[in-house]
Amino acid sequence: MVEDPKAFEALLQEDRVFPPPGDFAAKAHAKDDSLYRMAEEDPDGFWAGMAENLDWFTPWTQVLDWKPPYAKWFVDGKLNVSYNCLDRHLKTWRRNKAAIIWEGEPGDSRTITYDQLSREVNQFANVLKGQGVKKGDRVTIYLGMVPELPIAMLACARIGAPHSVVFGGFSPESLRQRIDDAEAKVVITADGGWRRGGMVPLKKNTDEAIEGSGVETVIVVRRMGDRMPVDMKAGRDLWWHDLMKGASAACEPEPMDSEDLLYLLYTSGTTGKPKGIMHTTGGYLTGVAATTKYVFDLKDEDVFWCTADIGWVTGHSYIVYGPLANGGTSLMYEGAPDFPERDRFWSIIEKYRVNTLYTAPTAIRSFMRWGGEWPARHDMSSLRLLGTVGEPINPEAWMWYYEHIGGKRTPIVDTWWQTETGHILITPLPGAVATKPGSATRPFPGIKAEVVNERGEPVGAGQGGYLVLTRPWPGMLRGIWGDPERYQGTYWNRFPGIYFTGDGAKRDKDGYIWLLGRVDDVVNVAGHRIGTMEVESALVDHRSVAEAAVIGKNHEVKGQAISAFVTVKEGVVQDDKLIAELREHVARKIGALARPDDIFFAAELPKTRSGKIMRRLLRDVAEGRALGDTTTLADPNVVAKLKSQYEEKEA
């Protein structure tokens, strides 16, 4: 499972240890092991304590009802997420505190206080009601990183309409698939969105996506204005600002059952079809609020910046719900890190005196490549904590982050979790746990993780295995929308009653966990999950392609890059023009994030006797390793030939 033995060896030899800095620990929410001990003695009691930090309309009668694979948390409790993120802060001094500080890519900005945010959320909740949206109706949101995005999410939460946010970089076809699966009747989008100085045609994409679908209403945010005229279809398309004009700023929050659906978020799996991950209300909010407070040591005076796009789970949990549930100040940036220059992040940190930065290893590796002179131009002394998420961080990148961004002062929290887990599960608590570059350290209090072998037995120190979670946790997914069998099959069949993460890991002699990447057919490109099957389906959809096999190939900056092996139909010319065409075809079908880095024409693909393509061997070929076990192949010559052809081409 560990694909690159060299990298694995290097990790085993990483022995640098960084204890929490004394001044940080002295003021931290968690300064010692006491939360771990409390949670170990009484996990349910620990989570109940965390849930008590929220405002409940009706108290729960039971903390956890666990009938694997279905958990109910805070049974019979009633609450509303938008009430917890807004209303309860309005009764305190936080009323006029910045909830969201937003910076647009062109340099425009907005500071939105809790009071202002609450008014806009209430207004938009009334707008949705006016369009006939009721509790339980799914609403698809396809927006760039503009304030209307969290406003729309919170408005949905207020009236009990689950949202399904679709990343603005997805193609019309990907959007269509997600709208159809959720059976959304209302879509919220914008005329366009800024990205690296260019305009993303969100409305045009939406029009293409919903042609002939069941969507009845499209609400359009005006971001581009005259720069990007859009067609507004009478009777279907409405401007956000027109609707908001007449809307009342008072909308009662819907009392939601703890287990009512809060949102769907689609993520890639091992088949071609994305999974609609289901997150519910009480447990999810408890988990994101607790982890935001303790992992990021969030203080009232902090400016907290998570650089993810809200189209991914990291943005849901750590731009919107976690920080706002805690009454924090969340910074939101619309655009690219290198626009107009490669120091945009550092200039934002200086401008807003950002205290905590939470970003992805792939971004850090880009910054490394761009060089330390960019951050050096800015005063970043406000930073007191750094975080990473999305993929394993190599110790080199960790050290660069520590030195050049954190000024060797700030702890780093390497946080492991998934769309499915809802919130961070493996991470240091920065005031209590010594860190090691490249390790996510230990499970958050109340979380139980193991590294096991094929038979489900815990492996010894230093050995690789599968990462599993042996105890339910509040923010865990409650299912896959419309597909209970897939839920059972993907996560719970390998080891009954135990959650299978799909990640490989090892534990070192101190019990620290080191993540080693996916063990299934999911590729992690620049922190984005893409199923190899999705890309393969897009490729074979092209008229010239007979068969395709897609793998993630190690990549210096992106972690993994998509590499495709393609066989073409009779008579097709295999040239660079076709390669370019195929790359564009995939980008058009799925979105630019899935565009293969390289495509290799193969005469044949290596298959098992039962016809399964052996991607493991293709990775060996692409990464220039000796071929692994080929005994299950129908014809071992196929891969041997492929390897020599590939090496010829590379040379």
Binding ligand WTA (rule: CB under 6 A), the pick from 313, 357, 477, 523 is 313
Q: Which residues contact 33 (CB under 8 A, 6 or more apart)?
A: 432
Q: Does 390 bind ligand WTA (CB under 6 A)?
A: yes
Residue with Cβ nearer ligand WTA (148 or 534): 534
Q: 3-state DSSP call for residue 77?
A: coil
Single out the residue of 205, 281, 419, 435 in contact with ligand WTA (rule: CB under 6 A): 419
CB distance 299 to 113 below 8 Å: no
Q: C-beta of 418: minimal distance to ligand WTA in Å? A: 4
Asked if residue 267 binds ligand WTA (CB under 6 A), the reply is yes
SS3 540: helix
For residues 530 and 160, give the distance between their C-alpha atoms in angstroms, rounded to a whole number.
30
Q: Is 165 in the site for ligand WTA (CB under 6 A)?
A: no
* Touching ligand WTA, residues 69-108 (CB under 6 A): none
* Tokens of residue 18, six digits: 């960084």
Q: Does 423 bind ligand WTA (CB under 6 A)?
A: no
Identified binder of ligand WTA from the candidate list 120, 260, 414, 534, rule CB under 6 A: 414
Task: Report d(CA 521, CA 533) in Å as an integer.
Answer: 8
Q: How far is the CB of 462 from ligand WTA (least distance, A)?
A: 18
**Residue 415 makes contact with ligand WTA by CB under 6 A:** yes
Of the candidates 425, 413, 502, the residue with the CA atom closest to the CA atom of residue 471: 425
Residues β-bridged to residue 563: 551, 598
Nearer to ligand WTA, 117 or 519 (CB): 519
Among 314, 356, 410, 435, binds ligand WTA (CB under 6 A): 314
Q: Among candidates 435, 384, 381, 378, which has minimal Cα distance to 410? A: 384
| Residue number with CB closer to ligand WTA (126 or 419) | 419
374 or 466: whose CB is closer to ligand WTA?
466
Please give the Cα distance from 481 to 479 (Å, whole number): 6
> How many residues touch ligand WTA (CB under 6 A)?
22
State in angstroms the smallest separation of the CB of 477 from ligand WTA. Answer: 10
Please say which residue, 360 or 642, places its beta carbon nearer to ligand WTA. Answer: 360
Going by C-beta distance under 8 Å and a sequence separation of 6 or more, which residues neighbour residue 441?
A: 414, 426, 427, 428, 433, 435, 512, 513
* CA distances from residue 564 to 480, 594, 611, 618 in whole angstroms, order as listed: 28, 11, 18, 9
Cα(203)–Cα(163) distance, integer angstroms? 18
Q: How far apart are the first and last CA of the chain?
A: 28
Cβ pair 389, 415 in contact under 8 A: yes
Beta strands 464-469 and 499-507, pairing class: antiparallel
Which tokens belong to 216? 């009845």
Q: Which of 286, 418, 435, 532 binds ligand WTA (CB under 6 A)?
A: 418
User: C-beta of 169: minimal distance to ligand WTA in Å?
Assistant: 14
Taking the C-alpha atoms of residue 321 and residue 330, their distance in angstroms, rounded to an integer, is: 10
Residue 312 CB, nearest distance to ligand WTA (Å)? 6
* Smallest distance from ligand WTA to CB 410, Å: 17
Tokens at residue 372, please?
A: 């330390």
CB of 502 to ligand WTA, least distance (A): 6
* 416 makes contact with ligand WTA (CB under 6 A): yes
Distance CA 207, CA 596 (A): 26
Q: How buried is residue 273: exposed, middle or buried, by Cβ count under 10 Å (0-12/13-18/19+)?
A: middle
Question: If binding is defined by CB under 6 A, does position 360 make contact with ligand WTA?
Answer: no
Piece of 126-134, 290-298, 408-416, 531-539 that binds ligand WTA (CB under 6 A): 408-416
Could you give the CA distance from residue 536 to residue 550 in angstroms, rounded to a whole number? 6
Minimum CB separation of residue 469 from ligand WTA in Å reads 12
Residue 522 φ/ψ, nearest 5 degrees: -115, 135
Q: At what angle do helices 34-41 and 43-51 cross, to 10 degrees?
A: 120
CB 633 within 8 A of CB 608: yes
Secondary structure (DSSP) of 614-633: -HHHHHHHHTTPPP---TTB
User: Where are any strands of DSSP class E within 315-444?
Assistant: 329-333, 356-359, 385-389, 412-415
* Dihedral, 571, 572, 574, 576 alpha carbons, nearest 10: 150
DSSP lists the bridge partners of residue 237 as 218
- From the list 440, 498, 582, 586, which residue makes contact with ligand WTA (rule: CB under 6 A)? 440
Report strand pairing: 163-165 vs 139-142.
parallel
Query: Which residues inside 481-540 make contact with ligand WTA, applying CB under 6 A?
Result: 501-503, 515, 518, 524, 529
What Å distances lie between residue 622 and 114, 553, 559, 599, CA to CA? 51, 7, 15, 11
Residue whose CB is less far from ligand WTA, 270 or 382? 270
Of 123 and 415, the one with the shorter C-beta distance to ligand WTA is: 415
For the bound state, the minimum distance from the C-beta of residue 214 to ligand WTA, rounded and expressed in Å, comes to: 28
191 binds ligand WTA per the rule CB under 6 A:
no
- Residue 389 binds to ligand WTA (criterion: CB under 6 A): yes
Which DSSP category does 85 fall into? I
Shortest Å distance, C-beta 288 to ligand WTA: 12
**Residue 310 found at the interface with ligand WTA (CB under 6 A):** no
Minimum distance of ligand WTA from residue 273's CB (angstroms): 16
CB of 313 to ligand WTA, least distance (A): 5
Q: Can residue 401 be called a binding residue for ligand WTA (CB under 6 A)?
A: no
Task: Give min distance, CB of 529 to ligand WTA, in A.
Answer: 5
Taking CB under 6 A as the binding criterion, the range among 156-164, 207-215, 390-398, 476-484 that sits at the site for ligand WTA is 390-398
Nearer to ligand WTA, 503 or 536 (CB): 503
Give the nearer residue to ligand WTA in terms of CB position, either 201 or 390: 390
Q: Does 259 bind ligand WTA (CB under 6 A)?
A: no
* Nearer CB in complex with ligand WTA: 122/415: 415
Considering the rule CB under 6 A, would residue 280 count as an interface residue with ligand WTA?
Answer: no
Least spacing, CB of residue 504 vs ligand WTA, in Å: 9
We find the least distance from the C-beta atom of residue 92 to ligand WTA, in angstroms, to be 31
Nearer to ligand WTA, 526 or 568 (CB): 526
Binding site for ligand WTA (CB under 6 A): 267, 312-314, 389-392, 414-419, 440, 501-503, 515, 518, 524, 529
